[in-house]
Amino acid sequence: MALVVSGRLNKQVAGELGISEITVKSHRGSMMRKMKADTLADLVNISTRLRSCGVSDLTLGELRVIEPFYRRSR
């Protein structure tokens, strides 16, 4: 999530993580669905709000846990 919201291209994220660009697209799509972000801008806003609360570098499992709380505060 940190690499995506930092403005890097999928290809750059893939290179940094040593995975394919298609895998990055898949993970980004999953992240956006689970965080209910319609656009990349929404995902950046969510990330900013989470970091301001002291939350960083979440796994997808952790995203599922905090998502209901995030939705209520929005």
Vertex 33 angle, CA 38 and 15, to 5°: 95
pLDDT at 70: 55
Two structure tokens written together for 36: 């209910």
pLDDT above 80: residue 65: no
Phi-psi region of 14 (alpha: psi -120 to 50; beta: other; left: phi over 0): alpha
Instruction: Give the pLDDT confidence of 11-55 residue by residue, as tens digits.
Output: 999 999 999 999 999 999 998 898 889 998 998 888 888 777 776
From the centroid of its chain, how far is CA 9? 14
pLDDT at 1: 83
pLDDT at 48: 83
Amino acid at residue number 27: H
Residues 6+ apart with CB under 8 A from 20: 14
